[in-house]
Amino acid sequence: MQLERSLGLAGFCALMVLAGACAKRATEESAPTNEEPAPASAAPAPVEKPAPVDTPPAPSAPPELAAPPDVAAPPADAKKTASGLATKVLKAGTGKDKPKPTDQVKVHYTGWTKDGKMFDSSIQRNEPTTFGVTQVIPGWTEGLQLMVVGEKRRMWIPGKLAYGDQPRMGAPAGDLTFDVELLEILSPPETPKDVAKPPADAKKTASGLAYKVLKKGNGKEHPTPQSRVTVHYTGWTTDGKMFDSSVTRGQPSSFMLGQVIKGWTEGLQLMVVGEKTRFWIPGELAYGDTPKRPGAPSGMLVFDVELIDFK
């Protein structure tokens, strides 16, 4: 589940429909034969008992995690912020830095309603969750910025900082209680100092694409428009605003080189595996000055691209 405001708890519905797997019952039917039935006086033929077969038990959903004794209301030693968020440190962390609004975080968490009913848990799924600090409910956005890596904190989040008293799509209503452990802070790449325009030592192609190699590669071959490339990248507008990054997501991107913006198609053909290059892509080689695609960045764009592999 990802606690996105626009969708409620993104994994919430899946958790609500967890069901134990049902064992299939096979029915056996006798096949017709051409043999005539034995006379009634005939002695019945001995029947061998089939060997016992070990049948594994059907898997069941993991048990719910018990609600804390103070799930209904924060205790006297909990700290409260001006917004109404109450928190209490359960385990001190080992880090020094706290997440910023631009960061992504990796966490383990469990959430309960005030009556002690668990509605979601990454611990139960045995899989941490990663998301942007500002991509979640306001109580999480505020509470996470109080934490350091390694810390485990209980948060009592008022309904107004969660999903409200009448949430949509089956999200939990009212005040919620979460135990959150901050595992990792994933900070975005630093904005380049030369983001506004290419420096004097940048090379420029006939199309207007400017580029500068930041790290030399170890490959010899270059991708073609028919290649499928795997890259890590970060993109900024010329005012230094980051609009996309595979680095902050922690997962490289793969795509056909001939199916991306013209500046990428041209620029990546200049690279070899292992190389990292900065590109200044004019608007006409990107999404244009007035992009047709909703939400696409306009004008000149700057990308740092590392070519990991291509086929």
175 is catalytic: no
243 is catalytic: yes
- The one catalytic residue in 109, 131, 287, 310 is 287
With CA atoms as reference, report the closest residue to 124 among 47, 171, 62: 62
- The one catalytic residue in 109, 233, 279, 310 is 233
> Length of the chain in residues, anyone?
311
With CA atoms as reference, report the closest residue to 178 among 129, 237, 231: 129
Q: DSSP 3-state assignment of 127?
A: coil
Residues 6+ apart with CB under 8 A from 190: none
d(CA 297, CA 286): 9
d(CA 284, CA 263): 9
Q: Contact 265/287 with Cβ under 8 angstroms?
A: no
d(CA 177, CA 141): 14
- The one catalytic residue in 109, 131, 163, 303 is 303
Residue 107, CB half-sphere, CA atoms under 13 Å: how many?
A: 31
Q: Contact 274/288 with Cβ under 8 angstroms?
A: no
119 is catalytic: no
With CA atoms as reference, report the closest residue to 291 among 237, 240, 239, 211: 237
- The one catalytic residue in 194, 261, 308, 309 is 261
211 is catalytic: no
Q: Contact 298/238 with Cβ under 8 angstroms?
A: no
163 is catalytic: no
DSSP letters along 219-250, please? ------TT-EEEEEEEEEETTS-EEEEHHHHT
Active site residues: 233, 243-244, 261, 287, 303
